């Protein structure tokens, strides 16, 4: 997949965008677009209002119900007060999501915001929407098929940030090859997981000794715990000097396995998503780092794309274009991310209003928060 930055953007940002979306040749096809992507071709009216479909992939990860859904809905209402939102969550079931696409199309949505469970299997549903004149905004994860817009994070660079934090953490104890590390990646059905993995490997390959590596179906914390427990048994708990986990849920599973094996002290574990549980583990020292991805600009872009596509207008805040094969110039917005450790929680997630100190520093974590300067 090729990404092109709009005129005036710095070349460094161009490189970041390219890295974020350099997917394998299985990338989704998208329609020809110069900004006014085809779909409902302006059939909808803001004055009269219209239906917008919003399909999210799961609810185990806290962000989707706490942040993505309300922020997308709020931004849609700002742009189109009379619009109604047809919301459904697939609970990590690809077949369910395919049925949900049919449901919202039957309900008469004019545009669809889709965060795919399985980016490959959803392709026929995206094509069906396109055939019915309903443009699809691929949200957070790319979806195969004729998408009309895309907004996500710089996923490969996120993997690099994770790898850099993990390498720094294991190096604090000495030679990063003095023991074995375990790599717990995300779901093989999620294209973002492949990008995180690629970015992470670009940093860690040759610098650490990998004792075991796993791809974790459905991003399951329970499965991650099972994987970590198996690796610890195989390698010996004293030989495991760190566990890379692709998100905070899998990090929690890995840490549970380390504690069950009586690891002391706990080796460094990294994560992603800046979930409150992950931040609490960082405050106590159980988890070394996470990745904070500001959902606000991503949600704003999704709403902006959706309303623009439904009314046949151009979303002028697009910063990139996505190209793959015959698909050219599909508008995109790529959002940056930042590494969070104990030292900068207050200056990142708290300052941005993502979590409050009160939400992080519940009574159980009050002493650790005080020691970390979170008061």
pLDDT of residue 62: 82
Count CB-CB contacts under 10 A for residue 205: 10
pLDDT of residue 328: 61
Q: DSSP character for 289?
A: B
Helix (H), strand (E) at residue 73:
helix 69-79
pLDDT-flagged residues of the chain (< 70): 1-42, 323-328
Q: Looking at domain 2-153+296-335, what is its CATH homologous superfamily?
A: Response regulator (3.40.50.2300)
For CATH 3.40.50.2300, the residue range(s) in the chain are: 2-153+296-335, 155-292+338-371
Q: How far is CA 166 from CA 90, 184, 243, in A?
A: 32, 12, 8
Say if CB 44 and CB 310 are below 8 A apart: yes
pLDDT of residue 34: 36
Q: What digits encode the pLDDT tens for the residues 321-337?
A: 876 544 467 899 999 99
pLDDT of residue 235: 98
Q: Is 358 helix (H, G, I), strand (E, B) or coil?
A: helix
Peptide bond into 265 cis (omega under 30): yes
Q: Which residues pair with 337 in a beta bridge?
A: 293
pLDDT of residue 80: 98
CA distance 330 to 322: 5
Q: How far is CA 114 from CA 59, 86, 89, 126, 239, in A?
A: 15, 12, 10, 9, 43
Q: How far is CA 222 from CA 100, 184, 218, 227, 260, in A?
A: 27, 12, 10, 9, 13
CATH number of 155-292+338-371: 3.40.50.2300
Q: DSSP character for 364?
A: G
pTM of the complete model: 0.79
Token readout for 7 is 């005129």
pLDDT of residue 131: 95
pLDDT of residue 375: 82
């Amino acid at each position: 997949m090729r990404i092109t930055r709009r005129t005036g953007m710095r070349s460094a940002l161009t490189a970041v965008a390219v890295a974020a979306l350099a997917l394998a040749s299985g990338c989704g096809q998208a329609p020809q677009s110069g900004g006014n992507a085809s779909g409902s071709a302006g059939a909808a009216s803001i004055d009269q209002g219209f239906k917008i479909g919003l399909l999210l992939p799961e609810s185990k990860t806290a962000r989707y119900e706490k942040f993505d859904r309300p922020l997308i809905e709020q931004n849609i209402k700002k742009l189109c007060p009379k619009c109604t939102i047809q919301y459904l969550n697939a609970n990590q079931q690809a077949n369910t999501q395919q049925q949900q696409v049919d449901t919202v199309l039957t309900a008469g949505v004019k545009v669809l915001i889709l965060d795919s469970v399985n980016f490959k299997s959803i392709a026929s549903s995206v094509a069906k929407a396109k055939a019915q004149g309903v443009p699809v905004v691929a949200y957070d994860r790319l979806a195969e098929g004729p998408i009309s817009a895309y907004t996500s994070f710089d996923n490969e660079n996120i993997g690099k940030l994770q790898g850099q934090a993990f390498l720094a953490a294991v190096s604090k104890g000495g030679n990063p090859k003095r023991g074995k590390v375990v790599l717990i990646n995300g779901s093989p059905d999620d294209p973002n997981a492949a990008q995180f993995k690629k970015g992470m490997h670009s940093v860690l390959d040759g610098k650490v000794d990998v004792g075991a590596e796993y791809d974790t179906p459905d991003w399951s914390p329970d499965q991650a715990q099972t994987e970590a427990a198996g690796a610890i048994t195989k390698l010996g708990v004293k030989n495991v000097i760190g566990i890379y986990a692709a998100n905070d849920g899998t990090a929690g599973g890995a840490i549970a396995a380390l504690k069950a094996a009586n690891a002391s002290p706990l080796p460094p574990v990294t994560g992603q998503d800046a979930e409150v549980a992950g931040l609490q583990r960082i405050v106590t020292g159980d988890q070394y780092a996470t990745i904070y991805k500001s959902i606000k600009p991503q949600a704003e872009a999704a709403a902006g794309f959706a309303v623009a596509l439904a009314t046949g207008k151009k979303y002028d805040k697009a910063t990139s274009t996505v190209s793959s094969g015959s698909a050219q110039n599909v508008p995109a917005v790529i959002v940056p991310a930042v590494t969070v450790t104990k030292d900068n929680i207050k200056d990142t997630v708290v300052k941005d209003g993502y979590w409050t100190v009160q939400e992080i520093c519940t009574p159980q974590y009050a002493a650790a928060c005080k020691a970390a300067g979170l008061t």
